Chains A and B, each alone.
Chain A
């Protein structure tokens, strides 16, 4: 396959960036999208040009590092998949593919396709945990958890923190990411003790980071590589409202 690319190149956060055209030849349909980038970077290096910077690591869809906005879609055309799980067979010979970084105020561009997603870490630090010190846990089977509750928690917990939800949202809202953690811990008995405080704090931090508001268009869930459901946003709204109405903090 022969592929034409337009890739966002930006030296650093202070310099303006632009789309730069490239052509790569002899691409196998079985290659992953990132392997196609490896080939391109190898060619650039041979020509003495600096390679394109992008985040990537596990290349099996679980670490959440890769983050390319491909032809106007977070992680490209395939649903339920990350960029590293996208294969060239999803494209046709001679296609032109536009590749940009995540676009969001809360995710500033670092270089080329690499963005700063540390806002997500700070949101988790604000309350995305159960306060339990090592060694103080009761026996694991002491508290039975109904299977459907445990499954619901797992559905939310599988978020990989890639930021596709934010990138896909016209408001750059982080509601799907934040609600996945709030919901995961809210449905479990282990997370119940702190559920009010958690919802309040995490939402406050999310706002502080500059993420936009949610207008419930559902683009986040469609583009989410783990297909995390909008139900979790509904649950977070309920948690948040409940917390605000019955809060002990006045």
Chain B
């Protein structure tokens, strides 16, 4: 397949303006003749739905939650980046662009990233106008903090609940449009299939999670704002219900899936405690502003701590190894996430990890408390410290926190062009669901920025161009054969899952898959391990379709049926992640192949052979997927070995 990115010509800083001018418009009176379907109500979905409804389009919004406000964006803690340069510390649109490209280890599209940096400033304006209570200085102006991978202070925040406040802002804008009758809201509805006919997207098929009813919805365009696929690992910081199903089923209809192996392991999460564990909790990266990461200098000391013979506070300064500050003096504890995670893994692999499992490092606030006082630290991170104490039953003001990396975000996703359109005309992917802006590693406080950029400031321009091209009559009624066939596919799948009547609960398959992917396609990967894992996933898939046990019926609330469909898709995606990781014979960002590292153990890219986006094309049940390449062209940044030393 020929991938056309539609990246505009011209100087980098003018590309978006020029492109906007070149896009076709739908006149205000005609907008009401177009129906747009939005799947998902996180930052990308809620902001897109609200903005498109404000423009006059008819919008139908779907969420599997009971309320749009519960989408997983709500859980983002730390903040949102914007190149406002309010701090007078040398920030600019170009610097945010540069940091993001470099942070992504030069595996993202220049033009997309620059646009993201450009619109970042408008996002903050919009959110403040909605009443988002960002942190402020005493003079009443907005406050900022720093985040990993940047040497300026450009992150806006609302205590440790920035995602919540931004989502509630977008949710309020969405609610206003529901009240105005421009948005029709479908809660507890899960998209289970996409309808494509005559080479265009025609709509979706959903299952009502309360009644089990399979329903068709027709639209001129469909926007997938369905988040990432981190739950393929079972244990992740994602919410329990986050899944890849909508994106994966679109993939099976011809939407290419790009860079699935780019997953982000977040360095500061609460360590795993037992095999009953259902999810992992993130401690915001902002903590690394004041917390110092360390482990004992020797294995002996670490062992004593693990056995409980020594407390971390017993260790003298010279018995501690502040390994990030030691290895990366200029960025110190604020190195990007992939670097911080990998280093935590190294010191634990050396036998210097703490906690009973040996899989944890310290994040210590003692110096910050001594320097700024407990009150200041409380004001900055109070709710995070409380959350930690509730889970771990330990007071982080007195003993250092214990943290370990955990899966947090997925940079890969559906391939989209500059207009955010996938390879199926009329199907768009926004936010974490697409692949476009973060390359092989996302910087902190950039996910919120991207979700809102796509929804508030990109899609309102680009979707009109497509709609104006196809015309208002180019829509399929829901009783057309294409819809009926899709409904049948969904019904058959439900029946198939219910009829297996095997012995193992869905959850056990999900946990088993998660362990395989974590062990072999997690923080570090090898060709040998990946080859082994591929076989294991294939066996798991075969076993799933023979032995899974889904109880209850299809025509009522059935959470195990919902999970079964999602896990089936995760298993297939898991195999593709492995293929992608095997194909990429280099290390970059979150993708670390042990065979490809520098002498100092840093990721070693191969720009000559791998400066491309790997976009995978579905080729049928149990067929190997076809690799398509989009070469990345860098006109404005020089590709260098990332250095945070």
On A, residues with C-beta under 8 Å from B are 11-12, 28, 30-32, 34-35, 38-39, 42, 45-46, 48-51, 53, 55-65, 78, 80-81, 85, 87, 89, 110-111, 114, 116-118, 120-121, 124-126, 128-141, 143-147, 150-151, 153-154, 157-158, 160-161, 184-185, 188, 190-191
Q: Which residue of A lies closest to B163 (CB)?
A: A62
Q: State A120–B67 Cα separation when bound (angstroms).
A: 9
Select which of B66, B124, B129, B456 is within 8 A of A130 by beta carbon: B129
On whether A62 and B75 interact (CB within 8 A), knowing A129-B175, A138-B129, A150-B135, the answer reads: yes
The reply to whether the CB of B372 lies closer than 8 angstroms to some CB of chain A is: no
The stretch from B483-491, B492-500, B549-557 touching chain A is B549-557
List of A residues within 8 angstroms of B122 by Cβ: 135, 137
List of A residues within 8 angstroms of B630 by Cβ: none
List of A residues within 8 angstroms of B159 by Cβ: 154, 158
Q: Show 21 residue pairs from A and B whose CB-CB distance is below 8 angstroms, ordered by the A residue.
A: A28-B276, A31-B276, A35-B276, A39-B276, A45-B505, A51-B560, A53-B557, A57-B239, A61-B390, A87-B393, A117-B66, A118-B66, A129-B176, A132-B173, A135-B122, A137-B128, A146-B136, A147-B136, A147-B140, A157-B131, A190-B129
On whether A154 and B133 interact (CB within 8 A), knowing A45-B549, A56-B240, A57-B72, the answer reads: yes
Select which of A62, A81, A133, A157 is within 8 A of B54 by beta carbon: A133
B142 and A140 within 8 A (CB): yes
Q: State A78–B239 Cα separation when bound (angstroms).
A: 22
| Given A11-B556, A121-B67, A138-B129, 19 other A-B residues pairs in contact with their CB atoms under 8 A | A35-B277, A38-B507, A42-B508, A45-B560, A55-B66, A60-B75, A60-B281, A81-B390, A85-B387, A118-B187, A120-B67, A121-B69, A121-B175, A121-B187, A125-B176, A130-B131, A134-B126, A140-B128, A143-B128
Q: Which residue of A lies closest to B507 (CB)?
A: A42
CB distance from B642 to the nearest CB of A (A): 31
CB distance from A127 to the nearest CB of B (A): 8
On whether A42 and B72 interact (CB within 8 A), knowing A140-B84, A140-B142, the answer reads: no
The reply to whether the CB of B637 lies closer than 8 angstroms to some CB of chain A is: no
List of B residues within 8 angstroms of A117 by Cβ: 66-67
Q: Which residue of A lies closest to B76 (CB)?
A: A62
The stretch from B164-172, B198-206, B324-332, B530-538 touching chain A is B164-172
Q: Which residue of A lies closest to B551 (CB)?
A: A50
Number of A-B residue pairs, CB cutoff 8 Å, is 221
Interface of A is mostly: loop
On whether A34 and B278 interact (CB within 8 A), knowing A58-B239, A147-B136, the answer reads: yes
Q: Which residue of A lies closest to B130 (CB)?
A: A130
The reply to whether the CB of B357 lies closer than 8 angstroms to some CB of chain A is: no
Q: Which residue of B lies closest to A67 (CB)?
A: B66
Chain B 61-84 interface 0/1 with A at a Cβ cutoff of 8 Å (1 = within): 000011111101011000000001
Chain B 429-464 interface 0/1 with A at a Cβ cutoff of 8 Å (1 = within): 000000000000000000000000000110010000
List of A residues within 8 angstroms of B126 by Cβ: 132, 134-135, 137
CB distance from B298 to the nearest CB of A (A): 29
The reply to whether the CB of B386 lies closer than 8 angstroms to some CB of chain A is: yes
B133 and A157 within 8 A (CB): yes
List of B residues within 8 angstroms of A188 by Cβ: 131, 133
Select which of A141, A158, A184 is within 8 A of B86 by beta carbon: A141
List of A residues within 8 angstroms of B239 by Cβ: 57-59, 63
CB distance from B354 to the nearest CB of A (A): 17
Select which of A48, A61, A132, A147 is within 8 A of B129 by beta carbon: A132
Q: State A151–B126 Cα separation when bound (angstroms).
A: 19
Question: Which residues of B157-199 are within 8 A (CB) of A?
Answer: 158-159, 161, 164-165, 168, 171-173, 175-176, 178-179, 185, 187
Q: State A129–B179 Cα separation when bound (angstroms).
A: 11
List of B residues within 8 angstroms of A39 by Cβ: 276
The reply to whether the CB of B620 lies closer than 8 angstroms to some CB of chain A is: no
Q: State A133–B273 Cα separation when bound (angstroms).
A: 46
CB distance from A177 to the nearest CB of B (A): 12
Q: Which residue of B lies closest to A57 (CB)?
A: B239
A145 and B175 within 8 A (CB): no
B172 and A65 within 8 A (CB): no
Q: Which residue of B lies closest to A28 (CB)?
A: B274
The reply to whether the CB of B134 lies closer than 8 angstroms to some CB of chain A is: yes
The reply to whether the CB of B51 lies closer than 8 angstroms to some CB of chain A is: yes
List of B residues within 8 angstroms of A114 by Cβ: 557
List of A residues within 8 angstroms of B552 by Cβ: 50
List of A residues within 8 angstroms of B54 by Cβ: 133-134
B124 and A140 within 8 A (CB): yes
Q: State A85–B176 Cα separation when bound (angstroms).
A: 32
Q: State A191–B387 Cα separation when bound (angstroms).
A: 31
Q: Which residue of A lies closest to B128 (CB)?
A: A140
Q: Which residue of A lies closest to B281 (CB)?
A: A60
List of B residues within 8 angstroms of A51 by Cβ: 551, 559-560
On whether A124 and B131 interact (CB within 8 A), knowing A87-B390, A134-B457, A135-B122, the answer reads: no
Q: State A129–B240 Cα separation when bound (angstroms).
A: 29
B557 and A124 within 8 A (CB): no
CB distance from A133 to the nearest CB of B (A): 5
Select which of B70, B137, B161, B165 is within 8 A of A64 by beta carbon: B70
Q: Which residue of B lies closest to A121 (CB)?
A: B67
List of A residues within 8 angstroms of B74 by Cβ: 58, 62-64
Q: Give the interface centre of B129, B176, B185 by most chain A CB atoms within 10 Å.
A: B129
Q: State A39–B133 Cα separation when bound (angstroms).
A: 39
B68 and A121 within 8 A (CB): yes
Select which of B136, B387, B508 is within 8 A of A145 by beta carbon: B136
B75 and A129 within 8 A (CB): no
List of A residues within 8 angstroms of B175 by Cβ: 121, 124-125, 128-129
CB distance from A195 to the nearest CB of B (A): 11
List of B residues within 8 angstroms of A143 by Cβ: 128
